[in-house]
Structure 1
Amino acid sequence: MSASLRQSLRELWGNLVAGAGKLRGVEAVSFVVRRYLSRSHRDNPGEGCPLPAVVADVAQAGEPVREGLAHELGDYADALAECIADRSAPSRQRALALLSLMYGGLSLARALKGTPVSDEILKSCRDFARQAFRND
């Protein structure tokens, strides 16, 4: 995994967690998904999360590249888990599920940019995340 990709991910994810501040539980989830799953983030891929553009290449790369991404995702999942910690379910498991929803939603929304379905995906993922954390 390149140093520039690693740095880009750390900055993006660090800003999301730091931006949530002292929010916890569903309030933190709402903040994070509102920022990550936004039209602005979708429409400006050069300034946002690089994962949708590179994850297929990472999957085809050698073990060191995949291990590098696994390490970065693990670190972010741990930081996000602290931020979203609320009640019963294991926080890291919930953080990984939320990360997967966010990445998948953004990837599909970017692929379908310019169609009504793109906006619908962003909103549906935000709503689903908030509801999932509200109902635990």
Structure 2
Amino acid sequence: MRYEKGHRDATRKRIIAVAAQQLRKDGVGASGVAGLMASAGLTHGGFYSHFPSKDALIEEALHEAIEQVKAWLGSVVESNEDKLEAVIRAYLSPYHRDNPENGCVAGALAPEIARHSPAVREMFTQSIIEHVDMVASLLPASATPEARRSVARAIIAGTTGMIQLARAVDDEELSDQILEDGIAACLSLARSIAA
């Protein structure tokens, strides 16, 4: 059966998009090739005509997820006056907590990435460096660049841990309180650099 030009590329992009969501929602270990292909509306047999291995798909899907998060946080920065507070509140929001498939790769997958291939870890590391630079750029310019990067790393670690805890507990009120406490702690840390 012959397909029109571009069908193969479109199919590949669909598989990557589905995998980018499913990996964040279910985790790398729980996301098998058959399930990913079924979610993309395709058969398991067609997988290897697009990717040489599951690891190759994971690498591309995580790259896609990282790009989605950069776009999301970029739009938060662009559309708010208090940019850092908006980023922290968006990250530690009930929406982000309840929709990991659309959210941060670190918040959903950091423990699994730590045990993954060097190529995936290198890509993830680069994304964290870029995220640190973005958050540091939102901190007061009166502080030294290293002080801003240090606080940015602490904010990123804090927000990532808070979102993981908020997702893990089975008490919604406690989960909401973890998010609120995380926002307050990160904002306090950000304000301390200006003092």
Q: TM-score, normalised by structure 2?
A: 0.61
How does 1:1-136 map onto structure 2 within 5 Å?
2-21=59-78, 27-89=82-144, 90-136=147-193
Contact 2:132 2:152 in 1 (8 A): yes
Q: CA deviation at 1:103?
A: 0.6
Once residues 80 and 10 of structure 1 are traced to their aligned partners in structure 2, the CA distance between those partners, rounded to angstroms, is 16
Q: CA distance change for structure 1 residues 91 and 46 in 2, over 3 Å: closer, same or farther? A: same
Q: CA deviation at 1:84?
A: 2.8
Once residues 135 and 71 of structure 1 are traced to their aligned partners in structure 2, the CA distance between those partners, rounded to angstroms, is 27
Q: CA deviation at 1:28?
A: 2.3
Provide the alpha-carbon RMSD of the alignment: 2.1
Matched to 1:12, the amino acid is V
Contact 1:42 1:106 in 2 (8 A): yes
Divergent runs of 4+, >4 A: none
Q: CA deviation at 1:15?
A: 2.4
Which whole-Å deviations, capped at 9, do the CAs of 1:96-119 have from their partners, x for residues lacking one? 111111111101101115432211
3-state secondary structure, aligned to 1:60: coil
Q: How many residues align?
A: 134
Which has the higher mean CA deviation after the structures are superposed, 107-116 or 27-36? 107-116
Contact 1:17 1:83 in 2 (8 A): no
Once residues 65 and 133 of structure 2 are traced to their aligned partners in structure 1, the CA distance between those partners, rounded to angstroms, is 18
Contact 2:163 2:179 in 1 (8 A): yes
Q: CA distance change for structure 1 residues 116 and 127 in 2, over 3 Å: closer, same or farther? A: same
Q: Give 1 or 2 for the bigger CA radius of gyration.
A: 2
Once residues 34 and 57 of structure 1 are traced to their aligned partners in structure 2, the CA distance between those partners, rounded to angstroms, is 25
Structure in which a larger fraction of residues adopt helix: 1
Once residues 80 and 149 of structure 2 are traced to their aligned partners in structure 1, the CA distance between those partners, rounded to angstroms, is 17
Q: TM-score, normalised by structure 1?
A: 0.84
3-state secondary structure, aligned to 1:31: helix
Matched to 1:91, the amino acid is R
Higher relative contact order (CA 8 A, sep 6+): 1
Contact 1:28 1:84 in 2 (8 A): no
